[in-house]
Amino acid sequence: MSNQEKHHQSDQSYLKQIGERIKRAREEIGYSQRELGDALCLSDRTVSAYEVGRAQPSLKILQELGRVTHQPISYFLDEDQQIDFDLQLQIKKIEQELLEVKKLISKKQ
């Protein structure tokens, strides 16, 4: 098996794991796929695609999933993905702070 095939299998396994957690969280709050889709402004087909691992939810969708299902985002991610997600959040925070600094500098000029 090539490295590319192994990577693809790893990605599929990761998506299935997230999907299983999305389904579990949805069922815990008693929502159908349609109800969760409505709460997230998505179709029930998109929710189904997430749950079976055919599609990967964005970070924004994971945040909304957490809000709707009353779960922390870390619930949907494994440790490796949580580290990546934490880094992405830190980078986003730094970017926002830099934009604020840039605005303040522009105002003073």
What's the whole-number mean pLDDT along residues 67-85?
75
pLDDT(7) > 60: no
Q: What is this structure's pTM?
A: 0.65
pLDDT(81) > 90: no
**Better pLDDT: 5 or 104:** 104
In contact, 55 and 14? CB cutoff 8 Å: no
CA 16 and chain centroid, separation: 13
**Better pLDDT: 29 or 87:** 29
What are the E-state strand segments in 1-109? none
The per-residue pLDDT for 62 is 93
The CATH classification of domain 3-77, taken from the options 1.10.260.40, 2.40.50.100, 1.50.10.10, 3.40.50.920: 1.10.260.40
**Better pLDDT: 22 or 79:** 22
The per-residue pLDDT for 8 is 47
DSSP code per residue over the chain: --HHHHHHHHHHHHHHHHHHHHHHHHHHTT--HHHHHHHHT--HHHHHHHHHTSS---HHHHHHHHHHHT--GGGTS-HHHHHHHHHHHHHHHHHHHHHHHHHHHHHH-
What's the whole-number mean pLDDT along residues 99-105?
89
What's the whole-number mean pLDDT along residues 28-46?
97
